[in-house]
Amino acid sequence: MSQKQQDLLETGRLEYLQALVTEFQVTESPDAKEQVLANLANFAYDPKNYEYLRQLQVLDLFLDMLTEDNETLVEFAIGGLCNLCLDKINKDYILEADGVAPVINCLSSSNEETVMSAVTTLMYLTTPQSRQQTTALPVVECMLRFSLSANRRLSNLARVFLEDYCSPDQVEEARNLSKHTAVGIPLPKD
């Protein structure tokens, strides 16, 4: 084990994450910001980190980044949310912070990963209470279009969304609606 890793062992997980958050907040470099956000989003994959990430208010950090202009930051932030939103506490937190709306906005991104993460996040955020919001008509309409996409990953995901999270009535309603309004949100670039 190298000295560096040894040091990190001693620093501890919370301190390390704290260092990341601090760097994210103080850095002037856009590159460093992206790298740190990617780090945090990857840490959000592992349930062991959830407690620390909540303590450091990383959930708010991710939610804030969803409205950034920098597409990479949005991609990483929604990836982070997608990674941690299955946890009950995190889910409740995001729902209470009105996180669904900015996630739905991500559906119209031109970045493929952003859209993928947003669809999955919406699925994972769906509860009996939030269902109305996460499967609102425009969302279902959007999923219908995605399900026809040539991008297999996206069409698979959209089909799971339509089949598992929406009622047949909802899908039917959206289908009728999209017949009339042919123009929609552009599909993400491949």
Partner 1 sequence: MAAPGDGAVGSVCKHHAQQGVCDSRAKYREGRRPRAVKVYTVNLESRYLLIQGVPALGVMKELVEQFALYGAIEEYNALDEYPAEQFMEVYLIKFQKLQSARIAKRKLDERSFFGSLLHVCYAPEFETVQETREKLQDRRKYIAKATSNRVNFVAKMIQEPNKTVSKNSECDFKPETSGFSAAHANSGNWDPSGRCPSSYKPSCNFSSVNRVCPSGDHFWSGLAFPQYVSNYAETSEYFNQSTSLSESVQQGGHTHTPVSLVRQRKAPSDNGIGRFMPRTTQLQERKRKRDQGNRLAFIGMDSDSTEVIIGPQLPEMPKVDMDDDSLNTSASLIRTKLKEVVVSAPKTSGEKPKDSQAKPLIKQRRRI
Minimal distance in Å, beta carbon 175 to partner 1? 18
- Residues 138-177 touching partner 1, rule: CB under 8 A, are 150-153, 155-157, 159-160, 163-164
Stretch that binds partner 1, among 63-71, 78-86, 100-108, 128-136 (CB under 8 A): 78-86
123 Cβ partners below 8 Å, 6+ apart?
134, 160, 161, 164, 165
To partner 1, the closest distance from the beta carbon of 136 in angstroms equals 21
Is 147 within 8 Å of 155 (Cβ atoms)?
yes
In the chain, the N- to C-terminal Cα span, in Å, equals 41
- Could you give the angle at which helices 137-147 and 152-165 cross, rounded to 10 degrees? 140
Give the nearest distance from C-beta 150 to partner 1 in angstroms: 5
Binders in 100-129 for partner 1, by CB under 8 A: 112-113, 116-117, 120, 123-124
Task: Find out whether 45 and 36 touch, Cβ atoms under 8 Å.
Answer: no
The residues near 21 (Cβ < 8 Å, ≥ 6 apart) are: 40, 56, 57, 58, 61
- Residue 186, number of CB atoms within 10 A of its CB: 10
71-84 helix and 30-43 helix, angle to the nearest 10 degrees: 10
By the rule CB under 8 A, 51 interacts with partner 1: yes
Nearer to partner 1, 35 or 177 (CB): 35
Please pick, from the candidates 46, 64, 71, 172, the single residue that binds partner 1 as defined by CB under 8 A. 46
Min separation Cβ 181 and partner 1, Å: 26
- Report the residue number, 128 or 180, with the smaller CB distance to partner 1: 128
Long-range CB contact pairs, 64-70, < 8 A, 24+:
65/37, 66/102, 66/103, 66/105, 66/106, 67/102, 67/105, 70/30, 70/34
Q: In this chain, which of 22, 45, 57, 167 binds partner 1, going by CB under 8 A?
A: 45
Which residues are near partner 1 by CB under 8 A?
1, 4-5, 8-10, 12-13, 16, 19-20, 23, 29, 31-32, 34-36, 38-39, 41-51, 75-76, 79-80, 82-83, 86-89, 112-113, 116-117, 120, 123-124, 150-153, 155-157, 159-160, 163-164, 190
